[in-house]
Amino acid sequence: MFKQLVTYLKSVNRIWLLSPFVVLLLAAGTSEVLFQHAKNLDLFAEVVKEVSDYYVDPVSPTKLVRKGIDGMCKTLDPYTVLIAENDITDYRIKTTGKYGGIGVEFGKVNDSMIIMTIMEDEAADKAGIQAGDAIISINAISVAGKDEDELQKLLTGSPGTIVKMVVRRPGTNEIIAKDVLREEVKVKSVPYYGMLNKEIGYILLTTFSDQCSKEVLEAFRNLKKDHPEMKGLVFDLRNNGGGFLNEAINIVNIFVPKDVVIVNTKGKLAESKHVYATLNPVIDASIPVVVLTNSMSASASEIVSGSMQDLERAVVIGQKTYGKGLVQVTKPVSYGNQLKVTIAKYYTPSGRCIQVLDYSHRNSDGSVGKVPDSLKHPFKTKNGRTVYDGGGIEPDIAVAHEKQSQIEQVLERNDYYFLYALTYKRKHSDLKPDARTFALTDEDYNEFVQFLSNKTYDYTSETERQLNVFIQTAEKEKNSEKLKEGIKQLEAQIKSDKAKDLFKHKSAIMKKLNFEVIGLYLKQKGQTENAFLFDTDVQEALRLFSTPQRYESILAGPVKK
């Protein structure tokens, strides 16, 4: 068959289109699958060439092929992607947490690039760059008109090199030039750990990067050493999208003895079928643990929370997790690119796979549906509690969160919380707040409302949308004149209701203001500690720890008759 195919391709003058990869495929065997691979790859190459040669407008073969690859991957799942060579640096930052830079986060505010966050003790912090500074130029290159990606490339580089920054300080409009020495910035997977009170410790894990289990272990050991009275631990996995599977195993191993199966994976290839068990002696097999989750806790976060739940080693508090039960590996491909490809599904100790979407069965429009409740299967935890597959990790104690209001969203989208915080700090420059007790006053809130008086933050409420539909219908039916006066009254009432939204949602808005203000004084650590005051999940965990009998009864499972 191989000779016949080559002869055919020669006859149509297309043998030059065969890549070495295709030739190797053909030479490797004569199966129908290999033939289909070769045929379709050749077809793809031919179409790219013909389009490049004959399409009416200039086209880029590189872009055509990349869009073809991206389109192919999208038919599989959102996690199988080609990582282009120029995106490898960003990918490595996400997986290793390391890069050469100055340690800042920035964003575009009113057409200016503003430093939003300064990482404590990193290069920018040491050089005197402050949150709120507007970046004018980097290494004599104006940042006007540049987007966030372009600015990121200007700031990152080899450790030990200089970044010449010119910034404008908020309030004073003073122009300041700073030479900032790039360093290897290590984005900590555990940005914070500490005590919630005298007896309950807290560890925040934001990503499962390489070696993050060592950070968790160090944090836990330090808490135990510095606070021998510690009787419980809150382990926060909220908004943690996952990462390395082996790091999840190592973290569970801190609380679970050696040789306990934590997860197993099953895929098409033999190499993707594996049973993962704990490898090391346990650090603490008895301390009560609460794991916090929400809808953005995914992948490795679900392995930790799901296995700790299945093994009755922790109580899960918060909201249902994302539902990603798939495993990816990264494979090097041609020209410095990397392919991240899904190779398996993973299963927690009870045997459940929590994958919420079935990408192998799509609807006629290409969309993917969630696993219906009727197709979910029950599984049993170590002590006989019933848990289900196909829908993320259900918390043992669910904590309802109010949906973010439209007024909150529009204020955040326009960076008004942050801009007010800058105004507040200028007015209270000598303030030395305590992160665990600081709270803005009603007077401060009234000042915020006044601050917004000359700002644009309009939005369309659901009532307005429905009214607009009603008006359009009335116009079609030629009833708009009859209803004109009533519509005016409704519009006036809606406008009045929106004006009251700042006070209707005052409590939620105050939390966000507090967060931004304390961040300017005490950076990320202060923000984390201040948030404990308003954190309903943390408060629920503290209530649970205050009643040990309730904690034990949750893990004990059903009463045996």
Integer CA distances (angstroms), 58 to 43, 66, 287, 356, in order: 21, 16, 66, 43
- Please, are residues 334 and 82 in contact by the beta-carbon 8 Å criterion? no
Ranges of the chain with pLDDT below 50? 1-22, 25-26, 28-29
Note the pTM of the prediction, 2 decimals: 0.84
Residues of the chain with CATH 2.30.42.10: 98-186
Q: Is 461 noted as a catalytic residue in this protein?
A: no
Q: Write out the DSSP string of 364-383.
A: TTS--PBPPGGG--EEE-TT
Annotated catalytic residue within 42, 125, 133, 310? 310
For CATH 3.90.226.10, the residue range(s) in the chain are: 192-398
Tens of pLDDT, residue by residue over 94-134, are 676 667 889 999 999 888 999 999 988 899 999 999 999 99
Q: What is the pLDDT of residue 272?
A: 87
pLDDT (0 to 100) of residue 89:
67
For residues 519 and 424, is the Cβ–Cβ distance under 8 A? Answer: no
Q: Convert the pLDDT of each residue in 75-95 to its tens digit.
A: 999 999 998 877 766 776 667
SS3 breakdown of the chain: % helix, strand, coil, rounded to 5?
A: 45, 20, 40
CATH number, span 98-186? 2.30.42.10
Asked if 199 and 288 touch (Cβ cutoff 8 Å), the reply is no
Taking each helix axis from N to C end, the angle separating 212-226 and 245-253, rounded to the nearest 10 degrees, works out to 20
**What does DSSP say about strands 315-318 and 397-398: parallel, antiparallel, or unpaired?**
parallel
Q: How many CA atoms lie within 13 A of 436 on its CB side?
A: 4
The CATH code for residues 192-398 is: 3.90.226.10
Burial 38-56 (b: 16+ CB within 10 A, else e): beebbebbeebeeeeeeee
> Which position among 299, 301, 307, 350 bears the catalytic label?
299
Candidates 320, 324, 498, 511; catalytic one: 324
324 is catalytic: yes
pLDDT given for residue 501 in this prediction? 86
What is the pLDDT, as a whole number, of residue 336?
86
